[in-house]
Amino acid sequence: MGILNSKIALITGGASGIGRATATLFSNEGAAVAIADINKNAGKTIEKELLSKGSKALFIPCDVSSAEDCQRAVETTINTFGALNILFNNAGIIRRASVVETTEAEWDKVLNINLKSIFLLSKYAIPHMEKTGGGVIINTASGWGLVGGRKASSYCASKGGVVLLTKAMALDHAEQNIRVNCICPGDTDTAMLRSEAEQLGEPIVQFLKEAAERPLKRMGKPEDIAQAVLYLASDASSFVTGVSLVVDGGGLAG
């Protein structure tokens, strides 16, 4: 009996990084997991892996910037598993550039994937949660949603938006017993983090070394962030809503 036994979760960006680690952890804790991702090969791989362990899992191809895809992901999850108790809005990308260096198309892509997707998925999920007595929504923000960062203007804007959208949704839907929180990870060892070094033209070894320069003297692992998401998804956080949970090894502590 896991702490998410009989719960149904939908995880965007669930085929890699933090999303994949969370899908695995949720599955180990008894949840049925729908994995929404644009990467079909990676999505099918994690689906097969979870099914092989006897878990309930489903991969849903999804472009989270598309309203049609988001609505379909929510409805497919409910039609397959019978309900939707947990929505983890985790899909995200980063463009390392100042506003001068960022094109309009790049700006729109970052904001659509990182922020608009949360609006869309939540818009379609909340009515179903309300009908079944409540639910939990967790959004992936960032430490850079709380403080600024250099050469990451669109990313910082999107993640700052996630923080305040989370608070607004928490206020709007508390009466429906829907808790809404976000996590603010620090540098976490994922493919997206490594892509930042390439975008900035920096040596990967040096970039990762600098990413580990925080009080706990290491980068985060996807599994570290997944544990925080599990806490917010579970009844252990039943009196927690509207919170931005920093998980960064002390990076923003001082």
What domains are defined for the chain?
8-186+221-247 (3.40.50.720)
pLDDT at 20: 98
Q: By C-alpha distance, which of 91, 88, 96, 72 is closest to 16? A: 91
Q: Identify the active-site residue in 64, 155, 225, 237.
A: 155
Q: What pLDDT, in 10s, does the model give residues 225-254? A: 999 999 999 999 999 999 999 999 999 998
pLDDT at 174: 98
Q: By C-alpha distance, which of 53, 54, 56, 74 is closest to 11? A: 74
- Is 124 considered catalytic here? no
pLDDT at 254: 86
pLDDT at 225: 98
DSSP string, 180-222: EEEEEE-SBSSHHHHHHHHHHT--HHHHHHHHT-STTSS-B-H
Which amino acid, one-letter code, is at 50?
Answer: L
Backbone angles phi, psi at 183, to 5 degrees: -105, 145
**Integer Cα distance of 31 and 5 in angstroms:** 5
Q: What H or E segment, with its residue span, contains residue 71?
A: helix 67-81
pLDDT at 220: 97
pLDDT at 41: 98
Check: pTM over 0.95? Answer yes or no: yes
What's the token pair of residue 153? 């203007």
CB contact at 8 A, 204 and 211:
no
pLDDT at 80: 98
Which residue positions in the chain have pLDDT lower than 50?
Answer: none
